[in-house]
Amino acid sequence: MAETETPQIYLLTPPEIELSSFPAELARVMDAHEVACLRIALATRDEDRLARAADALREVAHARDVAVVIDTHVALAERLGLDGVHLTDGARSVRKTRTALGADAIVGAYCASSRHDGMTAGEAGADYVAFGPVGATALGDGSRAGDDLFAWWSEMIEVPVVAEGALDADAIARLAPITDFFAIGEEIWSTDDPAEALGRLIAAMG
């Protein structure tokens, strides 16, 4: 993942998907808009279901030169031919995961709103650090990653930064100058036309 002037789109799957229809929906979105990366972020812990989903989604993404990472499952990332893993425990397992997957794999770290965790993850070898949620959400403990965190990071730190969680057009317009990626999932999948919804969010970047 390389830094660019305009933020890139980093898609998240919904927590539950219908394998008979979601790959085609994903393909429509990817054909309509440029996407840098796809994160398989399913709620299930069933390895068989994860593997079947990953196979189908990897096929769609790789056909369009989109990298694919999976939430937390380091062993599955390697076994299923994915491009890397997204860690949800801040900086704690970045170094170990980098050793396990090698220098070429994508290793990302979600650090909530902790500047310290982000810096530690970057030093340990993370390819990107994600902060969030950006907007109000019922998930988590109610804390948010403020605009000042992204502004500081983009000025001081080389590691690419991802904004995620409860994004809307206003947040995207504010954060576009100070983030490298927007991680977008339920914001579009819960709508009737995900490709159109993503287009509206992209337009908000200005």
Task: Spell out the domain ranges in the chain.
Answer: 8-203
pLDDT tops 80 at residue 2: no
Q: What is the mean pLDDT of residues 36-46?
A: 97
CB contact at 8 A, 155 and 161: no
Q: What is the mean pLDDT of residues 51-79?
A: 97
3-state secondary structure of 132: coil
C-alpha to C-alpha distances, 68 to 21, 62, 172, nearest whole angstrom: 19, 8, 23
For 186-203, what is each residue's pLDDT tens digit? 999 999 999 999 999 999
pLDDT tops 90 at residue 133: yes
pLDDT of residue 139: 64
Rounded CA separation 94/78 (Å): 15
C-alpha to C-alpha distances, 174 to 97, 151, 154, 170, nearest whole angstrom: 33, 10, 13, 6
Are β-strands 181-184 and 161-164 bridged in parallel, bridged antiparallel, or unpaired? parallel
Q: What is the pTM of this model?
A: 0.95
Domain 8-203 has CATH 3.20.20.70: yes
Residue type, 72: T
Q: What is the mean pLDDT of residues 43-66?
A: 97
For 70-111, what is each residue's pLDDT tens digit? 999 999 999 999 999 999 999 999 999 999 999 999 999 999
Considering only residues 44 and 141, tell me which one the structure prediction assigns the higher pLDDT. Answer: 44
C-alpha to C-alpha distances, 112 to 64, 108, 121, 184, 186, nearest whole angstrom: 30, 13, 12, 16, 18
For 147-178, what is each residue's pLDDT tens digit? 999 999 999 999 999 999 999 999 999 999 99
